[in-house]
Amino acid sequence: MTDIQPADHNGYMQLALEQAKKSPPKPTNYRVGAVIVDTASNEILATGYTLELPGNTHAEQCCLLKLAEKHGVSEENLGDVLPTNLALYTTVEPCSKRLSGNLPCVERVKRLAGCIKTVHVGILEPETFVAENTGKKSLQDAGIQVVAVEGFEKDILEVATAGHIKS
């Protein structure tokens, strides 16, 4: 699916950013992209972006829903069928609260703490919609390493906030 070399964090973050660009610009959400990689085989298992699937979906949520469908299981049972050395690349820190009432992405990722070992983030979530996002700390408390992939901040913010009213 790609020629990104193993542990090429910049390459995978660039792919996540390309996913984010597919998300429709709206003033009420960030355009985020995500990629799930099996680090043992360097295989991309899923990609996703904000609003890719129906229901006010976030990028990480889309990845997980697509994996659940692929494996014929519910999202809650994904941990039973996924490899145990996964990395999640996401342009923006996974959300810790959903204003829509949907399960926060942090909680979705934490359910897979036995599979997802590392979350690579491009930027921490700006406090535009949810003040004091605790996603990074919550993931770390669950034993999931959170690693910043630096150098994409300007591009990620530009893509993430497209459609927002600039003050």
Confidence of residue 39 (pLDDT cuts 50, 70, 90): very high
CATH number assigned to the domain comprising residue 76: 3.40.140.10
Dist CA 67 CA 8 (whole Å): 22
* 167 located within any domain: no
Dist CA 12 CA 7 (whole Å): 9
Catalytic residues: 60
Strand partners, 121: 90, 148
* 166 located within any domain: no
Is residue 131 pLDDT above 80, yes or no?
A: no
* 82 located within any domain: yes
* 100 located within any domain: yes
pLDDT at 83: 97
Dist CA 20 CA 31 (whole Å): 5
Phi then psi for residue 147, to 5 deg, are -125, 130
Going by the DSSP 8-state scheme, the letter that residue 103 receives in this structure is P
Q: Give me the mean pLDDT over the 34-45 stretch.
A: 97
* 144 located within any domain: yes
Confidence of residue 97 (pLDDT cuts 50, 70, 90): confident
* 92 located within any domain: yes
pLDDT at 130: 55
* 165 located within any domain: no
Does the predicted model carry a pTM greater than 0.75?
Answer: yes
Instruction: Give how many domains the chain has, as a whole number.
Output: 1
Confidence of residue 167 (pLDDT cuts 50, 70, 90): low
Q: What is the mean pLDDT of the chain?
A: 92
Is residue 55 pLDDT above 70, yes or no?
A: yes
Q: Give me the mean pLDDT over the 39-54 stretch.
A: 97
First to last CA, the chain: 40
Q: Which residue has the higher pLDDT, 95 or 62?
A: 62
pLDDT at 62: 98
Q: Which residue has the higher pLDDT, 166 or 32?
A: 32
Is residue 124 pLDDT above 90, yes or no?
A: no
The closest of 110, 116, 114, 153 to 134, measured between CA atoms, is: 110
Hey, what are 29's tokens? 């959400």
* 53 located within any domain: yes
Instruction: For residue 77, give its domain range.
Output: 9-160
pLDDT at 128: 55
Is residue 1 pLDDT above 70, yes or no?
A: no
Q: Which residue has the higher pLDDT, 102 or 83?
A: 83
